[in-house]
Structure 1
Amino acid sequence: MMRGTARAQRKRRLVLATMLALPLLAYLALCLLMYGRQQSLVYFPQGTRMDAVHTDYAIKRDGVALRGWLINPGQADALIYFGGNAEAIEGMRTRLSRWFPDRSIYLLAYRGYGASDGEPDEAALVGDGLALFDHVRSRHRQGDVALIGRSLGSGVASQVAAQRPVKQLVLVTPFDSLAEVGAGHYPWLPVNWLLRDRYDSHRHLANFDGQVLVIRAGRDQVVPPVHTNRLIAALPKAPEVVDVAEASHDTVLSGDVPVEAMARFLAR
């Protein structure tokens, strides 16, 4: 009788332990799944792909061909535009040409985007951005080279500005760290442990001594303004900040206010 009772108690303990372990195992499996799929959650090149014949120029880095567009060629000063994580940047050509007619403007599709070869990740995109800056600098030796980084591109532009002689940096809907933004969107996941591509702009710009213009969207649900505010607070010098209170992440550059602010800032 006592043996039967002991067996029943062991069985109940085993069942209870199994019931407690299953949610933990399921959570760990979900974490592994998210870890394996993280590149597809950060980068969205699918809607940007095109044939190389539609691009203006190419540069090669580590055997990878990167292709892009040149606007307003022949100007003394230059501007490099780094786009968002799902942005077909060639769609910005007309507006950039109209906004900044006195600068030659360079757009380069990220690896795996547009007609560029390769696969995107932080180290590759930053390295490509540095190579693009050096290419542009060699073509505009007597002029200035300014940067605009939008959303994900703000993370790339911040690292390029930190490693090259950049006097003017425009950041559109930027963030302090992609890891922190991800943690806000997925509070039930240990994003800071899982994320490989972190884009820690607040750390990279800690010693930046150039001028910074930040454009902040008041209704941004992709990069909530709190993350833009944290980046602003981390900068060594107070930046110029333009608030577009009614704008979302995607509509922030639709009105005259941010465009006029960028034009004034880059004309200094």
Structure 2
Amino acid sequence: MSRPNVSRMSRTLICLVVILAGSYLALCAALLVFQRALIYFPQPATLDTPRLTLDVADAQVQVSIRPHEGPKALIYFGGNAEDVSRNLPEFAEAFPDHALYLMHYRGFGGSSGSPSEEAIARDALTLFDKVYGSHGEVAVIGRSLGSGVAVRLASQRPATRLVLITPYDSLERLAVRQYPIFPVKWLLKDRFDAWKYAAHVSIPTLLLAAEQDDIIPRASTDALYRHFPKGVAVLKEIAGVGHNSISDSPEYLKLIADGL
């Protein structure tokens, strides 16, 4: 092979490497900039429910409510693409002795602002403090993404019960599994490391797993369960349901009620 041909091949190889490296860096940059669009999928509220508006420093957060006199209240945090207002009719029937507060994350259901882990965590604390001012027994429920919000809140405020539905140990660890070729640990802004907070929870806790969950691996739920102090948490599985269909099971509301 002549030297000119070798030289052309070398230049071609170098150009190819540069193009691939540039494309990879561009994808990393896109992941850094647009990652929250891959985490949060804001939904409008489809039910016209009574509302509580939380005026926080930089947003107005909407909460679908069912007022009820008495000591018991329930705060609910939903999934990353959930309209929480849709739960209100069934929750009102299943938990008749609880006042209900279902928080619409920023950007969801009429809430202003944009969602982020820290903003949602602050809003959750604000909601709890307001509810606790009127109700001395506050149960906290979190589903999917909201399970990370709920366990963090329960580690910081005097909740009486905690229920985690299709929960995970860490959004970061889930992202590492899903995007193994990217340096997720360096790029991810919202990590939702639920396992860090589980160790500081001392109230009775129920974890509900879906047998056929194709979103949250069972290993992630099991890892979270192991981080709770001994005797604090119970893990139960609902058979024959998936991540999004778990609430269709007749066992769903019954198990939650038993955990309250």
Q: TM-score range by the shorter chain?
A: over 0.9
Q: 2:217 aligns with which of 224, 246, 251?
A: 224
Matching of residues 80-95 of structure 1 within 5 Å: 80-95=75-90
Q: Which stretch of structure 1 is more off in the superposition, 202-211 or 20-29?
A: 20-29
Matching of residues 55-74 of structure 1 within 5 Å: 55-74=50-69
Aligned to 1:257: 251
The one-character-per-residue Cα deviations of 1:24-71 (angstroms, maximum 9, x if unpaired) are 2211211111221111100000x32579x8542211110421112221
Matching of residues 115-126 of structure 1 within 5 Å: 115-126=110-121
Q: Which stretch of structure 1 is more off in the superposition, 190-199 or 171-180?
A: 190-199
Matching of residues 1-268 of structure 1 within 5 Å: 5=3, 9-45=6-42, 47-48=43-44, 55-140=50-135, 143-238=136-231, 239-266=233-260
* Structure-1 separation of matches of 2:238 and 2:194: 21
> How many corresponding residue pairs?
258
Q: Which amino acid aligns with 1:25?
A: G
Q: Which stretch of structure 1 is more off in the superposition, 146-155 or 13-22?
A: 13-22
Is contact 1:242–1:258 with CA below 8 Å preserved after alignment? no
Structure 1 counterpart SS, 2:112: coil
Is contact 2:124–2:153 with CA below 8 Å preserved after alignment? yes
Greater Rg over alpha carbons, structure: 1
* Structure-1 separation of matches of 2:16 and 2:112: 48
In structure 2, the CA distance between the partners of 1:169 and 1:54, relative to structure 1 (3 Å rule), is closer
The one-character-per-residue Cα deviations of 1:79-107 (angstroms, maximum 9, x if unpaired) are 10111111111000011111111111111
Structure 2 counterpart SS, 1:60: strand
Q: Which stretch of structure 1 is more off in the superposition, 148-157 or 7-16?
A: 7-16
Is contact 2:45–2:85 with CA below 8 Å preserved after alignment? no
CA RMSD of aligned residues (A): 1.9
Structure 2 counterpart SS, 1:163: coil
Q: Give the TM-score, by structure 2 length.
A: 0.92
**C-alpha deviation, 1:241, in angstroms:** 1.4
